[in-house]
Amino acid sequence: MAEANAHYYATRDPLGAAGDFITAPEISQMFGELAGLLLADLWVRAGRPGKAYYVELGPGRGTLARDALKAMKAAGLTPPIELVETSPVLRAAQAALLPAPRWHDDCTSLPDDGPLLIVANEFFDALPVRQLIATDEGWRERMVAYEEGRFVPVAGPLASAAAIPSALRDSPPGTIVETSPASAAIAEALAGRIAVQGGAALIIDYGHQSSSPGETLQAVHTHGYADPWLEPGERDLTAHVDFQALAQAARSRHVKSFGPVGQGDWLRALGIELRAATLAAAAPERAQEIAQARLRLTAPDRMGSLFKVLALVARSWPDPEGF
């Protein structure tokens, strides 16, 4: 999964009608604006500390960053832009849209001399997962084999029970459990930075509230579901985010966590209805488009429930709105 996605993102812009999928920032400016206002509000109530940095993981074309930074500027905050991005194609798109961003291959090189205001929207779902399957002999890790001209999943060696969430270790044979050590490690690293430097992180993605069994590995191609075992590197591979595991990893570094809450409830709490009404009043010819975008972002049968928001905040900072 890691190898396939590294090639996939390095060789194309996957967003938009001509790509494979669309994300919330591309649906409406309201999404990025409200995320930016939440972070700016935290910064103001924390005493407007100097040298705060805007950090985004997997920033796509830079659309969310553009909208968030515009909202931050209205609140008196103009932070330097730090982007964790490895794709040369997407770096070029971000450079065309944002003023003087700095890029990082991973989180280790992020600035360490000021608070970090972090956004990770649809970043963790693309990180690699491990799949473990319960058998009569114990838990085995699912591996990848190449048989008869295609990749297939096969049962691999016995896995340590410590790799299975404690509540799921007695599951019956055939049960599949997904874990993402890479995701937990990044959440813990970000939390460690926030705990020392101050700041907050917003993690927005689709996934489940608590650790639960089941396979969620999937592929997306031309805005539809596709076989994840075909054409690796040519389709977006994702898996649902385990928000409970992320929160547990982050709290080990002594930060406060809030949520996860549904994206729809979160956006409504931050005032998306008022923002939509303001935009529609300023551009009546776009009123229907704006209403449809708001509905797509917030309705339970669209992105409102499946997508969730988790906030990590330094203990010395105030609690965030929207949770």
Short-list 123, 78, 120, CA closest to 100: 78
pLDDT at 161: 80
Q: Per the structure block, which two tokens stand in for 276?
A: 């939509």
**Which helix (DSSP H) or strand (DSSP E) does residue 306 occupy?**
none
pLDDT tens track, the chain, 323 positions = 999 999 999 998 888 777 778 899 999 999 999 999 999 999 999 999 989 999 999 999 999 999 999 999 999 999 999 999 999 999 999 999 999 999 999 999 999 999 999 999 999 999 999 999 999 988 999 999 999 999 999 989 898 888 888 888 889 999 999 999 999 999 999 999 999 999 999 999 999 998 889 999 999 888 888 999 999 999 999 999 999 999 999 999 999 999 999 999 999 999 999 999 999 999 999 999 999 999 999 999 999 999 999 999 999 999 999 99
Q: What is the pTM of this model?
A: 0.94
Q: What are phi and psi of 252, to 5 degrees?
A: -65, -20
Burial (CB count <10 Å: 0-12, 13-18, 19+), residue 237: buried
Domain ranges of the chain: 2-127+180-313, 130-179
Helix (H/G/I), strand (E/B), else coil: 198: coil
Could you name the CATH architecture of 2-127+180-313?
3-Layer(aba) Sandwich (3.40)
Helices and strands, counts by H and E, the chain: 10, 15
Distance of CA 192 to the CA centre of its chain: 18
Cα separation, 40 vs 166, whole angstroms: 38
Which residues contact residue 77 at a Cβ distance below 8 angstroms, ignoring those fewer than 6 apart?
40, 43, 44, 48, 52
* Pairing of β 81-84 and β 138-147: unpaired
Q: How far apart are CA 4 and CA 235, in angstroms?
A: 8
Within the chain, strands assigned E span 53-57, 81-84, 102-104, 116-121, 130-135, 138-147, 150-158, 176-179, 199-208, 218-221, 224-226, 236-238, 241-242, 256-262, 307-313
* pLDDT of the residue at 257: 97
Q: Residue 181: which H helix or E strand, with range?
A: helix 181-197
- Cα 136 → chain centroid: 36
Per DSSP bridges, beta strands 199-208 and 307-313 are antiparallel
pLDDT at 286: 96
CB under 8 Å to 118, separation ≥6 — which residues? Answer: 55, 56, 57, 190, 194, 199, 200, 201, 202
